[in-house]
């Protein structure tokens, strides 16, 4: 065990010896589990020091929080309760320690991240908790419904501790829609993979149908690489019949991220992606490239379907393609030419290599209200287009980011 982990172990031991009278047995048990997590950390370096014993820490923390809910009944003072619980965890040496670097194998602290009625809906309660791992926390989310007591309806945890399948998430948020005429709601839970150093991380978005007194049904599970900027980095909206997700992602022009937009219509227990899939013609081009052809065809005009399909195949996988953007050109009513020169595909498997693609000019039809269709693609500039066109520098948005009130 390295010196920083030995320090954490010492903190737990000292805190255990100095706990005030009346400390919950559950907190004492959390201390013991945290020590086990530390002892096992070196055997799990590939998964940030996480082992199945971390699940015991998550569940012990969750059960301890739930035991306090009965003291309040239906009216939960979320911030007050959160503060009291974290103060007790701090007394037990279980809160995050500034002396321990995030790059150390693991710091198994425990924290109550939030206790709140999601979107102010009083008969539902959302609780998020976090436990420390290397380079961040592994947060879990729980949804409760008031049925005379607080009944847990949904648990979202990451408990598969293998290098391929362990996907811890931080910054977890829950958005719950208003109810439809049948009392059904849409729940959107989002989080981001905690990273040690990069601004590029994987985002996770899961949507559920929540019906009165029933187990929620999963409608959507979407993951995408996100560029971490802004607070929060994702803008989200949940409505009874739809969900909307917006955040910055990698662009062909690797100097700047672009805005990713996903809008899903909900019908029964299905989520179907519908317009808009982008807010500007150039973002539409890149999103169109990233889709499977089955989906890209839905946003393509049929007249040139064969040629478009061939180009689509040539540009895959889109996430590996880079290029230099050319100036936009207007090509008639609602038509835009979006061009890229010097396009190439960077590949790392089976061997590292770069494959030249050349230039590509995309003819995009703007149907209004952020609806676009791919018309044609050529390796040469498209005839009949006008002079260079300069779009508004300010990118449009479907969901404005919250304003800071500092």
pLDDT in tens, 113-143: 999 999 989 999 999 999 988 888 899 999 9
Measured CA to CA, the distance from residue 155 to residue 191 in angstroms comes to 14
- The torsion region of residue 213 among left (phi > 0), alpha (psi -120 to 50) and beta comes to left
Q: What is the pLDDT, as a whole number, of residue 104?
A: 59
- Do 340 and 364 form a contact (C-beta atoms < 8 A)? no
Residue whose pair of structure tokens reads 């807010």 in the numeric block: 279
pLDDT confidence of residue 108:
75
Query: Do residues 36 and 154 lie in contact, with contact meaning Cβ atoms separated by under 8 Å?
Result: no
Question: Nearest CA to 63 among 25, 17, 32?
Answer: 25
- DSSP code for 300: B
pLDDT of residue 405: 39
- How far is it, in rounded angstroms, from Cα 99 to Cα 103? 12
For residue 103, the model assigns a pLDDT of: 53
How far apart are the C-alpha atoms of 287 and 312, rounded to whole Å? 11
Q: Which residues in the chain come in under a pLDDT of 50?
A: 1, 3, 7, 9, 11-12, 14-19, 404-406
What's the gap between Cα 75 and its chain centre?
30
**What is residue 45's predicted lDDT score, i.e. its pLDDT?**
78
Percent of the chain as helix, strand, coil, to the nearest 5:
25, 35, 35
DSSP H helical ranges for 52-138: 52-69, 78-91
13 CB neighbour count, 10 Å cutoff? 13
What is the pTM (predicted TM-score) of this model? 0.88
């Amino acid at each position: 065990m390295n010196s920083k982990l030995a320090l954490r172990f010492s903190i737990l031991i000292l805190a255990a010896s100095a706990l005030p009278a009346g400390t919950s047995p559950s907190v004492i048990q959390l201390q013991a589990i945290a020590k086990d997590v530390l002892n096992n950390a070196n055997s799990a370096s590939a998964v940030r020091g996480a082992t199945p014993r971390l699940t015991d820490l998550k569940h012990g923390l969750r059960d301890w929080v739930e035991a306090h809910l009965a003291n309040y009944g239906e009216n939960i003072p979320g911030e007050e309760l959160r503060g009291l619980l974290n103060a007790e965890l701090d007394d037990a040496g279980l809160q995050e320690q500034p002396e321990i670097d995030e790059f150390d194998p693991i710091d198994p602290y425990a924290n109550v991240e939030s206790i709140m009625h999601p979107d102010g809906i009083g008969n539902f309660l959302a609780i998020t908790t976090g436990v420390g791992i290397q380079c961040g926390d592994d947060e879990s989310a729980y949804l409760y419904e008031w049925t005379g007591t607080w009944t847990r309806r949904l648990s979202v945890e990451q408990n598969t501790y293998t290098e391929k399948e362990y996907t811890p998430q931080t910054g977890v948020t829950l958005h719950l829609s208003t109810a439809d005429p049948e009392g059904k709601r849409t729940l959107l839970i989002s989080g981001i993979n905690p990273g040690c150093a990069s601004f590029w991380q994987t985002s996770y978005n899961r949507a559920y149908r929540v019906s009165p007194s029933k187990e929620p049904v999963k409608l959507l599970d979407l993951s995408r690489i996100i560029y971490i900027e802004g607070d929060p980095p994702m803008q989200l909206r949940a409505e009874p019949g739809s969900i909307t997700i917006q955040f910055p992602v990698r662009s062909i022009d690797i100097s700047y991220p672009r805005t990713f937009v996903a809008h899903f219509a909900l019908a029964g227990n299905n989520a179907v992606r519908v317009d808009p899939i982008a807010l500007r013609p150039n973002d539409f081009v890149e999103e169109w490239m990233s889709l499977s052809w089955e989906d890209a065809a839905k946003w393509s005009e049929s007249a040139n379907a064969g040629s478009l399909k061939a180009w689509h195949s040539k540009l895959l996988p889109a996430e590996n393609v880079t290029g230099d953007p050319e100036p936009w050109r207007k090509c008639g009513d609602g038509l835009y030419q979006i061009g890229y020169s010097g396009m190439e595909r960077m590949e790392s498997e089976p061997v590292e290599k770069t494959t030249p693609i050349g230039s590509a000019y995309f003819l995009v039809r703007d149907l209004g209200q952020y609806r676009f269709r791919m018309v044609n693609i050529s390796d040469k500039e498209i005839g009949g287009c006008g002079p260079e066109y300069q779009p508004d520098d300010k990118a449009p948005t479907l969901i404005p980011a919250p304003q800071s009130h500092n």
